[in-house]
Amino acid sequence: MKFLVIGLGNLGRAIAENLTRIGDEVIGVDLNLHKVEAVKQTISGSVSLDTTDRDALNTLPLSEMDAIFVTYGKNFGTSVQTVALLKSLDASRLIVRSISPIHETVIRSIGVSEIIRPEQDYAATYASQSLLGDLFQRWYQVTETHHLYKIKTPGALVGQTLKTIDFQTNFGIRLVGVERAKEVRNLIGLKQTEYYVVDPLTDDLVLKANDKLILFGKMEVLHKIKEL
């Protein structure tokens, strides 16, 4: 896939380098020449230009991109103007970093629906880690109020069936999936652990100590899980 990352600060650079690492083609853009030079060896290509200049922006292969990230973190005006120009140039998929609630309102009014909120996401992740401690694995925001959580199976639930546990009734949270460990041998014969998704989830499934639970619900109900 092909991506354009506009704004090569900490967030933009991390996105660009990670996309490149997994095999995608990435062009990084920033007015700051030092930031452009800093990623030349780690992403597919980088260019220095003023993204508030319509003619300059139009020199980029916008129509070839699967998605365009706009990751400016400080300059409200530059971000809004860049997004507006990209929309006027018929950029297909825009993913934009929110600088503030007002900024987010403005870019949504322009027609952007995919928003990155790194500070809020970090805060929610940190809160989840603090709440769940060692149980916490990963967190995904689905809506403003509901989230997906991947957690280690609490010891109190090990050996119980899903019917007995009844996450929805007893905890107010929905079990979406279970990942289960299995031991395999790699190409050189060494043992290693891989996880597979248990499918289908049946009432008589018994949870094991190394299972990982994927849960959907509100953060506050996780207190019930933590207190087990």
pLDDT of res. 186: 76
Structural domain of 218: 121-226
Tokens of 61: 């292969």
pLDDT of res. 92: 84
Instruction: Please state the pTM of the whole predicted model.
Output: 0.60
| Number of domains the chain is built from | 2
The residue among 76, 94, 116 that closes a domain is 116
Per-residue model confidence as pLDDT tens digits over 103-113? 999 999 999 98
Strands 136-141 and 146-152: antiparallel
Comparing CA positions, the residue from 7, 71, 17 lying closest to residue 41 is 17
pLDDT of res. 127: 58
Which residue ranges in the chain fall short of pLDDT 50? none
CA geometry: angle 200, 203, 207, nearest 5 deg: 85
Same domain (yes/no): 112, 132: no
pLDDT of res. 14: 92
Q: How are strands ordered across the β-sheet holding 114-116? A: 45-47, 25-29, 2-6, 67-70, 94-97, 114-116
Tokens of 135: 């149980």
**CATH code, domain with 180:** 3.30.70.1450
pLDDT of res. 175: 95
pLDDT of res. 193: 86
Largest alpha-carbon pair distance within the chain?
64
